[in-house]
Structure 1
């Protein structure tokens, strides 16, 4: 069974950090969700993320490209 999960962060102008910091945070959240999907028996899980900062939207995808190899694009 294939499963997909989405996480999103919306940052207001005054709460904004550097993009790299927010990418790391959303990546960590996506990794946790990917691991939880594996724990419940989901095969080939894929997690997606959206980061909205000001008028810019960044999208991410995380999956396993091999045993214990997380790939975030």
Structure 2
């Protein structure tokens, strides 16, 4: 079991990495995280599809959706 400090530090490291990766890919970090977490919690993203939730793949999919609608 993690002590409070170790678990919090690890959690912050993960969150910080996700936020910065979103920013580096030109994404709104909040919109990205909300969508990814909703997909994971709802089961819309299966374990074998998690690579689709990586920031660069997520961005490419959103851009493809926008082109398809336009």
Which TM-score applies when normalising by structure 1?
A: 0.38
With a CA cutoff of 8 Å and minimum separation of 6, indicate the structure with the bigger relative contact order: 1
Which TM-score applies when normalising by structure 2?
A: 0.40
**Which of the two has higher C-alpha Rg?**
2
Greater fraction of residues in helix: 2
